[in-house]
Structure 1
Amino acid sequence: MVGPTDRPLTVRGVAEADLPELHRIDRETFPEEPYPYFVLRQLYDVHGDRFLVLDDGENLHGYVLFVTTSDRYVCWGMSLAVTPDLRGLGLGRRLMVEALRRVRAEGVHRVHLTVEPTNAAAISLYRSLGFEVEAGVRKDYLGPGEDRLVMTLGL
């Protein structure tokens, strides 16, 4: 697949130099509640090997962050972001498929993630990958007024 300027898009691991671009992607994708830069910095420091980015050779256009428990039994999808200009092209799927391939290879048994209950596109993507809603809407899951669906995939 090619990017907005006809450059090929590749999925690769994140590098420290990517942090400003990750922050830009997060602000574009989640303008009301992006991760602060320092949070992305700390996530990189602790889980840098768990970030995958979508790169056209000059700019990043998306990322996925997945974190595995210390016993390697469960993985949590922490964030999936694709820049608004490239949504609907299957890039979120591409990032998720690669993340799931990697955690399967590590022997992970279950993957969990949360999604805003009104985000029909994300719910549809996750369902198409085999995720199921665990127990309906979880009120205040991420704090007051921050309801989420918890979705789970058995591997």
Structure 2
Amino acid sequence: MATIAKRNREATQEELSLVRSYLLLTFIHKVFERDCRAIGKSGLFKMPQLYMELVSIGAKKTALMLQEVKRELESQNIIVSTIRQDQKGVEAQFKCRGIAGEMHIQWPSFRREMTLRMRAYLGLAGEFSIHAREESSNPVACPV
């Protein structure tokens, strides 16, 4: 969960949610772009264009959503000035209606939400719950 500094008392949950979405979408978009390049250059896939297309679709969806979040941040007078990452997680400094604030999100929470969102952008959200139920009811691994 995000830890919010005391001086954020002026920021609403909606405003903080926008900052969080901005951070997540920024990181997700970079991951999709990097993975698409890596798939193309790896030489490990027989048909890399198929996988690149799938990841590229996720990157395009993310870019559109990021563009919308940026518009919303601007309309609500929120400026994200600094984004840092370290071994603990992601930190953002922002101004909301001129009031300085910080957001800290630890890696486990950040990665979990990134994974859920990435699965949704790739159209895999429904398959996850079905796959997880199958694994829990049948502990024996299936050959692929």
Q: TM-score w.r.t. structure 2 length?
A: 0.30
More helix by share: 2
More strand by share: 1
Q: TM-score w.r.t. structure 1 length?
A: 0.28
